[in-house]
Amino acid sequence: MAEIGHGGKEIVERIMEPKEAASKIQGLAQIPIRSQLANEVIGITYGFFSPLEGFMGKADVDSVVKNMRLANGAVWSIPILFDLSAEEVEKYGVAAGKSVLLTFGGNPMAIFEVEEVFDYDKKAMCQSVYGTDEAKHPGCARTYEYKDKFVGGKLTLVNRPKINAPYDPYFIPPLEMRKRFKEKGWERVVAHQTRNVPHTGHEWLMKGAWFQAYAELPIEKPLVGVLVNAIIGAKRKGDYIDEAIILTQDELRKSGYFGDHNHLTSLTFWDMRYAGPKEAIFHAALRTNLGLSHHMYGRDHAGVGTYYGAYDAHHLLATVQKELSIVPVYSMNWLYCPHCGEITSEGLCDHKKEWQKFSGTVIRSIVQDGVKPPRLIFRPEVFDLVMECADKYGFGSPFVTDEYLEKRIPVFEIPPM
């Protein structure tokens, strides 16, 4: 049975087996790519970014920038671009109708069938996608770093990535993910987007969304799951290290705060753009492809600084809701209420003056102190694992440092062919 993804198109993996590929790549010009583009090659060829079949051409980019849609009309919010300098275009002989071989870490990764080489106004792109053209916005900064020529065309992966430990069990591409959901008997699955180690506020965000997604289904049967889908990509200093994020999210299941019957952890390779509302729309497409029926959106989803209002993402989603096949589950902040003696949500109990919010700073200082916090704030198993990850993977810190950026275990490698 065809697996239908975002935009109503069947999800097809664009992957060629190495035997067949070996002869196809003979004689192609080889272009080394950086990790952002390698992440996107994986996203495209495995169907995470369906209906995209390659890097975008000008018609798609223009339509995404101006109308938040692909040229074929499907809702899409963030341009997926391949950039080269004019010198590189010439050096590699990149031109419409030619194929080139993209390499990563010195090894063949994907065949890129070039359809078009074009220019695009980066400032206009930033203004539309990020709502600002300020270079200090991380998404704009990334856009300005693109070289001056963009190349559109289809991709075929010729060499599968080797996902390194401890990430390997969590790489579950769309077709495999949909199989897993069927095996589990889940009729609905709600996505939890994360770049965090979970405190109990996050845990209750998931639990609340699980109840919401259940709605009218018979609650005595295990029909609804929560999928934690961690975004793994470029890191900024001070972020949690990736190993801690993925392993502690799964620890919530292993330690029984959830179970196999309702919780699964996975990852998607993507360098965050911090596009707030536009990134929320992108997340809807991505998680539709992963087979999810529901998606939780909290406060300031995928935002940064003060660029977006707390509920802008919810409002933008509402404008295209009829065209999306994923149902948004909206939530406000979860926090600790000493009066109730438990976790509560904004808009729920009325002890506003007593509420203790899970601010990033408070959580950070708890983790940095290394003194086990109350289990109502941080689960002891999660906390212990954060400390273990700091030792094992973080060079003594659970947060990204220069040393980590330099020496960390790569999440994936492209092996020799």
- How far apart CA 180 and CA 172 sit, in angstroms, is 9
Tell me: does residue 320 bind Zn ion (CB under 5 A): no
- How far apart CA 47 and CA 45 sit, in angstroms, is 5
Tell me: does residue 357 bind Zn ion (CB under 5 A): no
Tell me: does residue 349 bind Zn ion (CB under 5 A): yes
Q: List, as own/partner pairs, every contact residues 22-26 make where C-beta atoms lie below 8 angstroms and the sequence separation is at least 24, other chains included.
A: 22/417, 24/111, 24/158, 25/101, 25/108, 25/111, 25/158, 25/417
Of the candidate spans 31-39, 204-212, 241-249, 334-342, the one that interacts with Zn ion by CB under 5 A turns out to be 334-342
CB of 341 to Zn ion, least distance (A): 8
Q: Do 232 and 411 meet the contact criterion of CB atoms below 8 Å apart? A: yes
Q: Do 97 and 135 meet the contact criterion of CB atoms below 8 Å apart? A: no
CB of 335 to Zn ion, least distance (A): 9
368 half-sphere exposure, CB direction, 13 A CA radius: 10
Q: Which of 370, 366, 390, 378 is nearest to 240 (CA)?
A: 390
Q: Which of 214, 233, 348, 363 is nearest to 302 (CA)?
A: 233
CB of 373 to Zn ion, least distance (A): 20
Residues paired with residue 226 on neighbouring β-strands, in sequence order: 190, 263
Of the candidate spans 126-134, 200-208, 328-336, 351-359, the one that interacts with Zn ion by CB under 5 A turns out to be 351-359
Tell me: does residue 335 bind Zn ion (CB under 5 A): no
- Any idea which residue has 């391949």 for tokens? 82
Q: Please pick, from the candidates 34, 236, 315, 351, the single residue that binds Zn ion as defined by CB under 5 A.
A: 351
Tokens found for residue 283? 């997340």
Comparing CB distances to Zn ion, the nearer of 355 and 399 is: 355
Tokens found for residue 178? 């949909």
Comparing CB distances to Zn ion, the nearer of 326 and 337 is: 337
Tell me: does residue 387 bind Zn ion (CB under 5 A): no
CB of 352 to Zn ion, least distance (A): 8
- Any idea which residue has 């005595």 for tokens? 220
Comparing CB distances to Zn ion, the nearer of 332 and 340 is: 340
Cα torsion angle, 106, 112, 118, 120, sign: negative
CB of 177 to Zn ion, least distance (A): 38
Q: How many residues at the interface with Zn ion, by CB under 5 A?
A: 5
Comparing CB distances to Zn ion, the nearer of 101 and 337 is: 337
Comparing CB distances to Zn ion, the nearer of 221 and 339 is: 339
CB of 116 to Zn ion, least distance (A): 58
CB of 348 to Zn ion, least distance (A): 8
- How far apart CA 40 and CA 93 sit, in angstroms, is 22
CB of 41 to Zn ion, least distance (A): 48
- How far apart CA 145 and CA 15 sit, in angstroms, is 29
Tell me: does residue 340 bind Zn ion (CB under 5 A): yes
Of the candidate spans 102-110, 112-120, 279-287, 339-347, the one that interacts with Zn ion by CB under 5 A turns out to be 339-347
Tell me: does residue 348 bind Zn ion (CB under 5 A): no
Tell me: does residue 339 bind Zn ion (CB under 5 A): yes
Comparing CB distances to Zn ion, the nearer of 236 and 339 is: 339
Tell me: does residue 337 bind Zn ion (CB under 5 A): yes
- Which residues lie near Zn ion (CB under 5 A)? 337, 339-340, 349, 351
